[in-house]
Amino acid sequence: MNKNVSINQNQFSAWAARMLTELDWSKPWEFTWKRFRVPRSLDQNALWHVWFQEVAEHISSTELLDEDGTPYTVDISADEVKHLCKSTLGYSRQLILGSKEVTLVKDTRDYTHEEGKAFQARVQAWAATDLNLELKIKEKNQS
């Protein structure tokens, strides 16, 4: 019997009593309690992929100037933009493993809905300020 249940405080007592009476107590049981979190939405994910493509196209078609004023362009893919945004604007943590300093980047699949909204806002702000690119949120994707 494997049951994943999300309940509020009012439902807990009745659910727990019913659940405990259904168990086969001749076998050992392990219980795990963890806080429920709303995962990032599929609409957020779809919007980000549109944005990463827009940023890649914008960067690839924009002429930049090096320190000497010589123009150049950068060819970058949407996937590279995604990795750039995750590593610089996403959630990460630093670890020291022996003599190596390592940065672990949290995968966007593991973002909560709120973390996703914050990441989305940082990507949008970065594009506007550093790239002079306005990334729009379609009404459907504002969740």
Q: How sure is the predictor about 64, in pLDDT bands with cuts at 50, 70 and 90?
A: confident
pLDDT for residue 3? 60
Mean pLDDT of the chain: 87
Q: From 92, 81, 62, 77, select the one nearest 126 (Cα to Cα).
A: 81
As a whole number of angstroms, the distance between CA 112 and CA 107 comes to 11
Q: From 39, 46, 13, select the one nearest 112 (Cα to Cα).
A: 39
pLDDT for residue 142? 47
Chain segment 2-24, per-residue pLDDT in tens: 566 666 777 777 877 888 888 88
> Is the Cα dihedral 105, 107, 112, 114 positive or negative?
positive
pLDDT for residue 8? 72
User: What integer is the mean pLDDT of 73-102?
Assistant: 95
pLDDT for residue 4? 62
pLDDT for residue 143? 47
Q: What is the bridge-based pairing of β-strands 71-72 and 64-65?
A: antiparallel
As a whole number of angstroms, the distance between CA 38 and CA 101 comes to 32
Do 99 and 36 touch, CB atoms closer than 8 A? no
Q: Inform me whether the pLDDT recorded for 78 exceeds 90.
A: yes
Do 92 and 78 touch, CB atoms closer than 8 A? no
- Other CB atoms within 10 A of residue 43 CB: 15
- Other CB atoms within 10 A of residue 88 CB: 12
User: What integer is the mean pLDDT of 30-43?
Assistant: 75
Backbone torsion region of residue 98, taken as left when φ is above 0, otherwise alpha when ψ lies between -120 and 50, otherwise beta: left
Q: Inform me whether the pLDDT recorded for 127 exceeds 90.
A: yes
pLDDT for residue 96? 94
